[in-house]
Amino acid sequence: LALFAATDRHLHYRVPLSLVEEATVARGFRIRPLVPLLWGDGRFFIMVLSQNSVRVFEATRRTIGEVDTSAIVKSMGDALAMEESERQLQYHSSGSGTVHFHGHGAGEEIDKGAVERYLRVVDRGLRETLDASTQPLVLASVDYYQPLFRSMTHYPNVWDQAITGAPERWRPEELHEM
């Protein structure tokens, strides 16, 4: 709340800023704490990135809304669906008529190469979705994804600080506050 009082007028404003409580007596009104309201709209993007979902939000200081992400793959499973998912097997005979199989390939653990391929596909879709935008992009993901995505993205303005954790469960308002 900003209050201004003079002998001939009284003004009050609700402002969407966190202000330090202060009282100033002077010949004019002290408006310096309100100057951030005059600087652009503070537009930025938040990308929620997890193995099971990708969402992008456009936000300002006061608002947040989801962006159409139809150009971005929805999950790691979707991104890697075209890859051969069958385990490759090798075998040898022990001479007793028994065949021993040795397998390699994707098991329960997700390997770094698969994550990198997934993030490249996400980045292509992100560039298509955000087109020529240069607004800051705040990444919301697990710690592991952040340096990998930053190292490969072509988006020109990924914010240095990120939202860390499991953001796919967070509401847009929670992300915006963070």
The fraction of the chain above a pLDDT of 70, given in percent, is 80
pLDDT at 102: 46
Residue 64 pLDDT: 95
Q: pLDDT value at position 65?
A: 96
Give residue 83's pLDDT.
61
The span from the CA of 68 to the CA of 165, in Å, is 23
Cα 81 to chain centroid, rounded: 23
Q: Which residues of the chain have a pLDDT value below 70?
A: 16, 37-40, 82-110
- Exposed, middle or buried, 69 (CB in 10 Å: 0-12/13-18/19+)? buried
Q: What pLDDT is recorded for position 107?
A: 46
Structure tokens at 70: 């139809």
pLDDT, position 173: 94
**pTM of the prediction?**
0.66
Please report how many Cα atoms fall inside a 13 Å half-sphere around the Cα of residue 134, on the Cβ side: 1
pLDDT in the model for residue 115 = 94
